Amino acid sequence: MIPHASALDESVRHAFSSLALPNLAAHLARLSPAEIWGSDEFSPQPPHHLALAALRGQAGPSAAAWSVNAGPELAWALLSPVHLAVGTDGVDVLPPAALHLSESDAARFAAVLHELWPEAEGWQWRVLDATHWALGHADALDELTAPSIERAAGRPIEPWLPDSRVLRRWQNEAQMLLHEHPLNVEREARGEHAINSVWIGDIGRANGRPADVTVDARLTEPLLNGDLAAWVEAWQRLDAGPLARPLTSLTLCGDRFARRFTAQPLSLMEKLKRRWRTPDVAALLEAL
């Protein structure tokens, strides 16, 4: 499965005109279209999360719980440190990776936020990496939903703010706690963006079933950061690496849809047709 294989941004569409992906083209010529998941670019969860939920036999995504390999005992949320950039047109969510937060500093910021979700009240913490912290609880997260950070990163915040008053209150409390905190004073003295908020999303419980799929997420960070050159380079490495190997299933995910292609029995006539048919890779990716 390849998340963020495409995007609706016009610069991404333009990149497809000169992006050669011969191994991807060979797979698409051999594999047959199967399931498709998603709806539009405004859904709170990216299509690859919807696809993973379906492959795990879940009613909906729970990326936070998946990230800690959790069972159904606790619900989990992903917390991502962010910088909310206030401009003349509104507030943008700076992509977490653009903060260049070290893992040691991430642990220090997470420790500050323990005050809001203390372990003494049943909260469990996991610092997964510098930009993803998992927060679990037996019941406090139930019935709460919020868009994934992968939807909000690099975009205006307004369309993605959660409806839940509880989540908005937690976000406001985190902002007040982080405002002019000594850790942020240190960052600003170094010319770095302050961590002035956290994004709370990807909430849910896991059913404990694996998805039986390998997710290659190397395209995610450069696309969310708006680094098109790095995204194109990552696509080329992906095509020359994992996609150079035989596959029986391939799922490509964009802003709207995740589409799966699988090996299926073909008639002799269909095999002959495919031998002479060259798939339009750019058109297929643009449609995701």
Angle (CA) 86-91-94 rounded to 5° is: 90
% residues pLDDT > 70 (the chain): 96
Mean pLDDT of 86-100: 90
Residues in contact with 269: Cβ distance below 8 Å, sequence separation at least 6, in sequence order: none
How far apart (Å, rounded) are the C-alpha atoms in residues 2 and 227?
Answer: 18
List Cα–Cα distances, 202 to 77, 115, 125, 206, in angstroms: 6, 21, 15, 11
Angle (CA) 159-55-59 rounded to 5° is: 55
Domain boundary among 177, 204, 231: 204
Residue 19 and residue 121 in one domain: no
Residue 96 and residue 28 in one domain: no
C-beta neighbour count of 262 within 10 angstroms: 14
For the segment 1-10, what is each residue's pLDDT rounded down to a tens digit? 999 999 998 8
Residue 14 and residue 36 in one domain: yes
Residue 268 has pLDDT above 80, yes or no: no
How far apart (Å, rounded) are the C-alpha atoms in residues 260 and 138?
Answer: 34
Residue 171 resides in a domain: yes
Residue 188 and residue 238 in one domain: no
Residue 77 and residue 170 in one domain: yes
Question: Position 225: which residue type?
Answer: N
Residue 52 and residue 165 in one domain: no
Residue 5 resides in a domain: no
Residue 193 and residue 215 in one domain: no
Domain boundary among 188, 204, 220: 204
Number of domains within the chain: 2
Residue 218 resides in a domain: yes
Residue 252 and residue 199 in one domain: no
Residue 142 and residue 95 in one domain: yes
For the segment 149-202, what is each residue's pLDDT rounded down to a tens digit? 999 999 999 999 999 999 999 999 999 999 999 999 999 999 999 999 999 999
Q: What per-residue confidence (pLDDT) applies to 87?
A: 83
Residue 76 and residue 183 in one domain: yes
Domain of residue 163 covers: 63-204
Domain boundary among 182, 204, 226: 204
